[in-house]
Amino acid sequence: MPDETSSGIEKLIQGVLAGERLQLARAITQVENESPAARPILQALYPHSGRAHIIGITGAPGTGKSTLVTELTRAYRQMGQNVAVVAVDPTSPFTGGALLGDRVRMRTLSGDAGVFVRSMATRGNLGGLSKTTRDVVTLLDAAGFERILVETVGVGQAEVEIASTAHTTVVVEAPGLGDEIQAIKAGVLEIADILVVNKADRPGADATIRALAMALGRSAPQPIRHHGQVVSVANAVDPLSTLPAWHISVMKTIASSGEGIEPLRQQLETHIKWLHDSGQYARREQDNATRQLTHILNAEIGRRIQHNVPATTFQALAQQIWQRKTDPYSAADILLESLFASGLSL
Amino acid sequence: MPDETSSGIEKLIQGVLAGERLQLARAITQVENESPAARPILQALYPHSGRAHIIGITGAPGTGKSTLVTELTRAYRQMGQNVAVVAVDPTSPFTGGALLGDRVRMRTLSGDAGVFVRSMATRGNLGGLSKTTRDVVTLLDAAGFERILVETVGVGQAEVEIASTAHTTVVVEAPGLGDEIQAIKAGVLEIADILVVNKADRPGADATIRALAMALGRSAPQPIRHHGQVVSVANAVDPLSTLPAWHISVMKTIASSGEGIEPLRQQLETHIKWLHDSGQYARREQDNATRQLTHILNAEIGRRIQHNVPATTFQALAQQIWQRKTDPYSAADILLESLFASGLSL
């Protein structure tokens, strides 16, 4: 049982700040479970975050993302940097997959105190995945990890958006996966800062690279970022900046043999430097802050509704809806009127 | 330009009810764009929905879902039933994929007035996908389509949840896709009413079927449904019912040659009959009504927040957050206090 007294929470917070793995793992569990301790932990640790370079790595199943992430972690370790990996597990939206993924990685990177790996099962609320991932990243950031790799499968909407909220987004492709699996589409370029063709020793690698390069040639030089769901914020960066635009490069890797990993690491460093020099870093941080504020607002309002509406009221309305005695829009209006009349207090 | 006068909206509504394809397509576009016309359209058409059998079909990329859906549509047409297909496009979460998918299907099923195909790009708000899909299904239902197939990729969280809100959920597997792509996990059984091993002429098909049967043997006989994010509703069905439980079957298909499609269609009919006989139909409808009400509430509150909070206020708070002068939880509290003090009127 987690200790949720204020001294227990304080111990977790201090433990995370001191980089203690056990306390960090416990704090993450509190956040994942949305326990009552989650909020004070996040409030206390948030001001200590903001130092990590957060890298989103996304790609279709079969592109070798996990191996790439493992090898990239090794490359960062050779430079003496601490690395945390958050794997939003691709294969099972429910149970099972996350634990297995952890075990496989742990075997490769185990015993290294400068590496922390956390797999997240995506079980749970629709829409909650993005908020939880961000919160876990905040904890890892506050714990002093300098590079945080967030790995997601580039197929689901939520998963792609999680990767695209990082400072730098890497889209991983691989040759020969077949049409349905290939994500070589103009659209994917919207989120990519760096494109990687992994498994580059496979037949068809050059065709894949050519197709990507052609698609890049047709696209705008600057990726369009997506905004939060309730409010979008105007561009806070001077649009007349004379700094050069970022050029999305296509890089070849063979993660299984480590080939191309060190150039990729260097390109990631180049991108973070460009983000700072161009003012884009501030813009992405502000976009992310907006999204985070929006998510928290939505979650908090949801909690207040649950607290204020008796389950029987909700159930009665749901019954009228499915029996087509009313429509869900009119039912929502009825609920909202009574909620706001009551002030929707805690 | 869509005509958003009340007579224009009335024309759309009457057109949908009369099953006019052009008006239906226009109404769907209004709903997808969340235009001002969307809400009156949905309010008017909702009471006319509730007659269709909604079938969710989900599976990993490469399992041949699209071909299966096309062949299943053909099988329903041979029985004289009207079919609508909603494809939440798997390969591109942004642009491009949806249009291509439409074109490929249209070629196969074109010229048949009893078939309506709509692909949905998943571009847009995180979390909005599920609500929009449900709204589009409501329109198709009101337009008189008797079977509505909702096809999603079984990898992303949002996409899996969309499929699992149907009356009947079909999970598609295929042999030989490799470990990362295979979704044969205990978890996937939680949402499946029928399991299909497609591409059953490929090597490894029997091993795939055996693995699924074994996994089924270990799981509970009754799939667990997932509930909405704000409120979950108690079981409205008599738990002491003496009606037999549903047995999830594993079916073999070779969609490309049409093999196994007719037995699958028959099993789908068996399932809808079982849903009605067992009282599960009412339960799933009530669960879905709850989810829908929740989504609409969240969207409506989001809209009111956007209307009540000046963009400059939101922007100023976002800036304080990313500069770590405050944390997003405290910022959300500040916003909520001022919002509820103002009554959060329209």
Cβ <8 Å between A50 and B289: no
SS3 A171: strand
* DSSP label of B207: H
CB contact under 8 A, B340 and A345: yes
Distance between CA atoms of residues B318 and A291, nearest Å: 9
The pLDDT assigned to A299 comes to 77
Whether B19 maps to a domain, the answer reads yes
Looking at the fold, whether A79 and A228 belong to one and the same domain comes out as yes
Taking each helix axis as running N to C, give the angle between helix A38-45 and helix B328-341, from 0 to 180 degrees, rounded to the nearest 10.
110
d(CA A315, CA B327): 36
pLDDT of residue B106: 53
| Structural domain contains residue B255 | yes
Question: Any idea what the CATH number is for the domain that residue B146 is in?
Answer: 3.40.50.300
Mean local confidence (pLDDT), B145-149: 97
B20 with B160, same domain? no
Is A336 among the domain residues? no
In a domain, B150, yes or no: yes
Domain count, chain A: 2
β-strand pairing of B83-88 with B147-153: parallel
Report the residue of chain A nearest B315, measured CA to CA: A233
Instruction: Give residue B2's pLDDT.
Output: 53
Q: Which of residues 66-95 of B touch A (CB under 8 A)?
A: 66, 90-95
B199 within a domain of the structure (yes/no) = yes
Pair A10, A99 in one domain: no
Query: Is A66:A151 a contact under the CB 8 Å cutoff?
Result: yes
User: Across chain A, which distance is largest between two alpha carbons, in Å?
Assistant: 66
Beta-strand ranges (E) seen in chain A are 53-59, 83-88, 115-120, 147-153, 168-173, 194-197, 249-252
Question: Same structural domain for residues B91 and B147?
Answer: yes
Confidence category of residue B295, pLDDT binned at 50, 70, 90 = confident
Instruction: Give the span between the Cα atoms of A2 and B293, in whole angstroms.
Output: 34
Are residues A223 and B301 in contact, defined by beta-carbon separation less than 8 angstroms? no
- Closest CA of chain A from B225, distance in Å: 12
Mean pLDDT for the stretch of residues B179-183:
47
Q: Which residues, including other chains, have CB under 8 Å from residue B316's CB and lie 6 or more apart?
A: none
Shared-domain flag, residues A10 and A90 = no
Could you tell me if residue A309 is inside a domain?
A: no
Among candidates B343, B345, B321, which has minimal Cα distance to B332? B321
Same domain, A27 and A54: no
Nearest to A55 by CA among A162, A159, A129: A162
Residues B13 and B152 in one domain: no
Is B142 part of the contact surface with chain A (CB cutoff 8 Å)? no
Q: A136-140, A323-327, B16-20, B245-249: which has the minimum mean pLDDT?
A: B245-249
**Which residue in chain A is spatially nearest to B338 when comparing CA positions?**
A343
**What's the whole-number mean pLDDT along residues B167-179?**
82
Residue A316 falls inside a structural domain: no
Question: Quick one: B57 and B196 in the same domain?
Answer: yes
Residue of A90, A230, A315 lying closest to B233 (CB–CB): A315
Q: Domain span at residue A86?
A: 49-284
Q: At B42, which amino acid appears?
A: L
Q: Does B301 touch chain A (CB under 8 A)?
A: yes
pTM: 0.77
CB contact under 8 A, A158 and B155: no
- Best of B122, B151, B301, B337 to disrupt the A interface (most A CBs within 10 Å) is B301
- My answer on whether B137 and B175 are in the same domain is yes
pLDDT at A1: 46
Per-window interface: A 269-288 vs B, CB < 8 A: 282, 285-286, 288
CA atoms within 13 A on the CB side of B308: 18
B195 in helix, strand or coil? strand
- Mark whether A132 and A273 lie in a shared domain: yes
- Does residue B212 surpass a pLDDT of 60? yes
Chain segment B75-103, per-residue pLDDT in tens: 999 999 999 999 885 443 333 344 445 55
Per-residue pLDDT of chain A (346 residues; tens, 9 = 90+): 455 688 899 999 999 999 999 999 999 999 988 889 999 999 999 999 999 999 999 887 778 888 899 999 999 999 999 999 998 854 433 333 444 455 555 556 767 889 998 887 654 444 567 778 889 999 999 999 999 999 887 666 677 777 778 999 998 988 876 544 444 454 566 788 999 999 999 988 888 888 888 777 754 433 333 322 222 222 334 445 556 688 888 999 999 999 999 999 999 999 999 999 999 999 889 888 988 888 788 778 777 777 778 888 888 999 999 999 999 999 998 888 877 776 655 4
B143/B13 same-domain check? no
Q: pLDDT (tens digit, 9 = 90+) per residue, B222-240?
A: 333 332 222 222 333 444 5
Same structural domain, A43 and A54: no
